């Protein structure tokens, strides 16, 4: 489910990360969001039955995490399963900082 956020809505959008303990995909996403300075609310599907019910409702009955909901003040929502940080930033209407990959760093690209 995807909708296009407006610039004003992106400024006030909220991010909810449905997660569980010991999930490496959740850890990676949360760490990336923290590094990017994106505030979010974490909901543990093992501790919150309502959170688990929601995740199952949007993932064909599966408890697939991380599941992320980006909600905008105008009511538009984007729900994604196992997105990358860049995708969450795009859903917020933000452009992620471009960083060269390993090969680019080895070849000196992206350095001023």
User: Domain locations in the chain?
Assistant: 7-106
**In a 3-state reduction of DSSP, which class is residue 41?**
strand
Give the model's pLDDT for residue 104: 65
For the chain, the average pLDDT equals 86
Q: Is the pLDDT of residue 83 over 70?
A: yes
From the centroid of its chain, how far is CA 52? 17
Q: Which CATH architecture has domain 7-106?
A: 3-Layer(aba) Sandwich (3.40)
110 has pLDDT over 60: no
Task: Work out the pLDDT band at 99, boundaries 50, 70, 90.
Answer: low
Are 32 and 82 spatial neighbours (Cβ–Cβ below 8 Å)? no
pTM as predicted: 0.77
Of 79, 39, 31, the closest CA to residue 55 belongs to 79
Overall average pLDDT of the 38-45 stretch: 97
């Amino acid at each position: 489910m995807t909708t296009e956020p407006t610039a004003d809505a992106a400024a006030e959008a909220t991010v909810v990360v449905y997660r569980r303990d010991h999930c490496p995909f959740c850890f990676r996403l949360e760490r990336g969001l923290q590094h990017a300075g994106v505030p979010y609310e974490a909901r543990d599907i093992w501790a919150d039955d309502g959170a688990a019910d929601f995740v199952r409702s949007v993932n064909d009955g599966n408890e697939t995490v991380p599941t992320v909901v980006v909600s905008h003040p105008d009511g538009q929502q984007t729900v994604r399963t196992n997105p990358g940080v860049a995708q969450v930033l795009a859903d917020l209407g933000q452009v992620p900082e471009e960083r060269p990959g390993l090969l680019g760093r080895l070849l000196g690209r992206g350095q001023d």
